[in-house]
């Protein structure tokens, strides 16, 4: 069966995920950024609304006073309006900077630092009418439409319920002073924004879960693709080296785990250490269960002392065992006599002890 006809049932491999990341394809939810920016703005208003309002009131008072006393001309009106716009910009600039910073940080938290020129490369599919129509009527577009409609309905309902609860108070606002009206409107607006924040947080969590599921689904592979990738990795020198290192480490751990069951550790005494096990009922000859030079030799001796395995110093036998045998191999016949004498010495010590 052709690869294109196969179902993509396999989860994306780490290599596939990394390749997608290099192309700028990562799971990301815009709803999380929107919710975070709104929460940041709400916090800014909570802690800085009073100073901001004072600045705006002072600005309006100053400019309206200037307008009332100035000679009416296009030049004066233009100058006053320019000044008001500039002052208003300076007042709201910290809020814009906060929103931009929050959006940037949230994107970095979601995706990490992704630097890819792939999305900037011109592609025919982006301007192809057929491809655009397919995207317009895709499942992703339908989900986005439902999500946006849901947001509008829920936020609209929240706004309506809040205003409805204040419907008896609104007619009496005409009797209040301007500062009291501003304070009242601010309180109601804060309630609306708080409710909206909670709604957006829930939607953001659900949207991120969906976006991640959709992202991983889009990167799924066929069984053939997984096999081909594995074959490529097998030929990669870096991967081969990593596999060999892991295998050596696992073999070393197994070897060290076998030292406690050894009957004796023979050393030369510092550079080499060879651990032997001999079970007369099941073994034709002693077997090397662990061996090492320098650092490994010291580790073998350390484990042997910890588990009270006898350590015998015999330079010639230790060197020959290290050079002539591998782990899990029986000792050569040429060393039978020498090793038998060492084992007899060990058994004698144990018996006398």
- For residue 290, the SS3 value is strand
**Hey, which of 197-201, 248-252, 317-321 has the most confident mean pLDDT?**
317-321
pTM metric for this prediction: 0.50
For residue 112, is it left (φ>0), alpha (ψ between -120 and 50) or beta? left
Average pLDDT over residues 239-250: 78
When mean pLDDT is compared across 66-70, 208-212, 303-307, the lowest value belongs to 66-70
> Could you tell me the pLDDT band of residue 287, with boundaries at 50, 70 and 90?
very high
pLDDT one-digit tens code per residue, 135-189: 666 777 787 888 888 888 988 888 888 888 888 887 777 777 777 887 788 788 8
Mean residue pLDDT of the chain comes to 81
pLDDT higher at 324 or 60: 324
Give the pairing of strands 264-267 and 311-313.
Answer: parallel
> Could you tell me the pLDDT band of residue 2, with boundaries at 50, 70 and 90?
very low
Instruction: Give CA angle at 210 (208, 211), nearest 5°.
Output: 65
- Any residues with CB less than 8 A from the CB of 102 and at least 6 apart, and which? 33, 36, 37, 40
pLDDT one-digit tens code per residue, 116-142: 555 556 655 555 566 666 666 677 778
Phi, psi (rounded to 5 degrees) for 97: -65, -40
Domains and CATH numbers, the chain: 11-113+125-224 (no CATH), 256-352 (3.40.1690.10)
Q: What DSSP state is assigned to residue 334? A: G
Closest CA to 39 of 112, 87, 105, 111: 105
User: In the chain, what is the straight-line distance between the N-terminal and C-terminal CA atoms, in Å?
Assistant: 72
Q: Which two tokens stand for residue 14?
A: 């780490």
The pLDDT value recorded for residue 122 is: 61
Contact criterion met (CB below 8 Å) for 229 and 16: yes
Average pLDDT over residues 16-39: 81
Q: How far apart are CA 189 and CA 146, in angstroms?
A: 26
């Amino acid at each position: 069966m052709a690869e294109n006809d196969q179902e993509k049932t396999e989860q994306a491999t780490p290599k596939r995920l990394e390749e997608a990341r290099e192309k700028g394809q990562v799971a990301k939810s815009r709803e999380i950024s929107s919710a975070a920016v709104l929460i940041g703005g709400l916090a800014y208003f909570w802690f800085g609304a009073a100073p901001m309002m004072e600045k705006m009131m002072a600005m309006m008072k100053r400019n309206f006073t200037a307008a009332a006393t100035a000679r009416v001309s296009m030049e004066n009106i233009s100058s006053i309006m320019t000044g008001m716009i500039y002052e208003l910009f300076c007042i709201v600039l910290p809020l814009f900077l906060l929103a931009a910073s929050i959006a940037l940080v949230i994107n970095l938290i979601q995706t990490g630092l992704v630097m890819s020129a792939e999305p900037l490369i011109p592609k025919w599919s982006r301007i192809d009418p057929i491809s655009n129509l397919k995207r317009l009527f895709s499942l992703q577009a339908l989900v986005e439409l439902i999500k946006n409609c849901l947001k509008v309905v829920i936020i609209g309902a929240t706004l309506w319920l809040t205003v409805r609860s204040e419907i008896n108070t609104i007619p009496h606002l005409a009797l209040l002073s301007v500062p009291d009206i501003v304070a009242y409107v601010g309180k109601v607006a804060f309630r609306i924004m708080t409710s909206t924040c909670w709604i957006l947080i829930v939607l953001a969590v659900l949207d991120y879960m969906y976006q991640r599921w959709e992202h991983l689904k889009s990167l799924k592979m066929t069984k053939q693709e997984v096999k081909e990738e594995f074959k490529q990795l097998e030929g990669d020198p870096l991967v081969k080296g990593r596999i060999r290192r892991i295998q050596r480490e696992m073999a070393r751990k197994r070897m060290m785990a076998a030292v406690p069951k050894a009957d004796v550790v023979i050393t030369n005494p510092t550079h080499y250490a060879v651990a032997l096990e001999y079970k007369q009922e099941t073994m034709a000859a002693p077997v090397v269960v662990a061996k090492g030079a320098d650092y490994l030799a010291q580790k073998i001796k350390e484990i042997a002392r910890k588990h009270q395995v006898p350590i015998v110093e015999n330079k010639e036998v230790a060197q020959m065992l290290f050079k002539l045998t591998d782990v899990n191999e029986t000792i050569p016949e040429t060393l039978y006599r020498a090793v038998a004498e060492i084992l007899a010495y060990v058994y004698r010590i144990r018996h006398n002890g």
